[in-house]
Amino acid sequence: MTTYTKADRAPLTERQEARRRRILRATTQLAARGGYESVQMREVAELSEVALGTLYRYFPSKVHLLVATMYDQLDQLHTQLRRRPPRSAGSRERVVDTLLRAFKGMQREPHLTEAMMRALQFADRSVGAEVDTVSRETTTMILEAISGDEPAGEPTAEDLAVIRVITHTWHSSLIAWLNGRASIAQVRTDIETVCRLIPED
């Protein structure tokens, strides 16, 4: 039984790691330009200078590829958040701040966001592991916002249920905005509304 750290991937040689990064970078670039449908596997392969077959060896489907990209972006966001965490008074406010800050970032690259979110929502069982990874990362971010500077004991089942509901809302709400079915103000309202489930402290 081998256990891998850092996102559970098998170890790669340097060239392989470089290929992987080139692929993710190409994906991000294409997605940022035209969203989900602009991420075409042949183009990703060409832009990252990798054969189509190789692309598929690294990421077994377009959805896998985009979910991995999402994880990548989320990781960057998480790093930023740890560097400058929200400073608001209550845990509820910190979560709202965190999500709104993430939202602001996404507004800067709506196409990229659309591509990643569509993939995440469209993902089926075969992408279960990868989606779980993203989901765990999100949960961690919200938990850190809730606990703030404090030590932060084990989250209760209740905590986790609330966080699940928050992320559900977060995702669906974002999709609705990307599809032009919800305004920015509405997304904000929804976030604030669902965060009322976090007890005041």
Q: Which residues contact 74 (CB under 8 A, 6 or more apart)?
A: 134, 137, 138, 141
Minimum Å gap between C-beta 17 and its own copies is: 29
Instruction: Tell me the C-alpha to C-alpha distance, in Å, between residue 112 and each of 121, 129, 150.
Output: 14, 22, 34
**Residue 164 binds what, of its own copies, DNA, none (CB under 5 to 8 Å, by partner type)?**
its own copies
Which residue's CB is nearer to its own copies, number 45 or number 191?
191
175 binds its own copies (CB under 8 A): yes
27: exposed, middle or buried (Cβ count in 10 Å: 0-12, 13-18, 19+): buried
Q: Are 94 and 201 in contact (CB under 8 A)?
A: no
134 binds its own copies (CB under 8 A): no
Name the one range near its own copies by CB under 8 A: 38-46, 73-81, 104-112, 174-182. Answer: 174-182
Which residue's CB is nearer to its own copies, number 50 or number 166?
166
Q: Give residues 92-131 in contact with DNA (rule: CB under 7 A).
A: none
Q: Report the run of H or E that residue 8 belongs to, with start and end.
A: none
Q: Give me the half-sphere count of Cα atoms (radius 13 Å) on the Cβ side of residue 23.
A: 29
**Residue 60 binds what, of its own copies, DNA, none (CB under 5 to 8 Å, by partner type)?**
DNA
Which residue's CB is nearer to DNA, number 17 or number 132?
17
Q: Are 111 and 31 in contact (CB under 8 A)?
A: yes
3 binds DNA (CB under 7 A): no
Q: Are 109 and 32 in contact (CB under 8 A)?
A: yes
Site track for its own copies across 52-81, x = CB under 8 A: ------------------------------
The Cα 96–Cα 90 span in angstroms is: 10
Q: Give me the half-sphere count of Cα atoms (radius 13 Å) on the Cβ side of residue 144.
A: 17
* Binding footprint of its own copies on the chain (CB under 8 A): 36, 114, 118, 121-125, 128, 131-132, 135, 161-162, 164-165, 167-169, 171-173, 175-176, 179-182, 186, 189-190, 193-194, 196-197
Residues that bind DNA (CB under 7 A): 13-16, 19, 37, 39-42, 49-54, 56-58, 60-63
